[in-house]
Structure 1
Amino acid sequence: MSNFWINLYKFPRFLISVLIGFFLTTFQPIFKLLKNKKERIVFMTIIVIITVLCYRIIQIMTDNI
């Protein structure tokens, strides 16, 4: 039974390491993309367009024009 509690105490550290690994592998291509100035401008433009589009859609859905 003590093995169970030892494993249970290790779980939060495991969860944190899995989440950090997920974010590092997810955002690594984006960080590589941001090194080039031309690609950085295109990427930031796309992010701004998506953000404005989502904002407008939510505004229209909630009838707050």
Structure 2
Amino acid sequence: MNNFWDNINKFPRFLISIILGFFLTTFRQIFRLFKNKKISIIIVITTYILLSILYKIIENMLGIQ
């Protein structure tokens, strides 16, 4: 039974390392794209537009004015 609780105690550290690894590998590719000035401007504008659209959709769905 002691072995079971040892494994349960290791799970949060494992979960954090998986999540951190996912974000590091994802953002590494994005940061490589930011080295090119033209592509970085396109990425920033696209991200801004997508977040604006998402904000408006959620605002309308919840009826917030």
Q: TM-score range by the shorter chain?
A: 0.7 to 0.9
Deviations 1:9-37 (A, max 9, x none): 11111111111011112222111111111
Give identity over the alignment, percent. Answer: 51
Match of 1:6 in 2: 6
Match of 1:29 in 2: 29
Query: Aligned partners of 1:58 and 1:6: how far apart in 2?
Result: 43
Give the residue type in structure 2 aligned to 1:59: E
1:63–1:14 CA distance, 2 compared to 1 (3 A): closer
When normalised by structure 1's length, the TM-score is: 0.80
Match of 2:15 in 1: 15
Matches within 5 A, 1:32-43: 32-43=32-43
Unaligned 5+ runs, structure 1: none
Query: Aligned partners of 2:11 and 2:4: how far apart in 1?
Result: 11
Count residues with an aligned counterpart. 65
Query: Aligned partners of 1:63 and 1:32: how far apart in 2?
Result: 39
RMSD over aligned Cα atoms: 1.7
When normalised by structure 2's length, the TM-score is: 0.80
Unaligned 5+ runs, structure 2: none
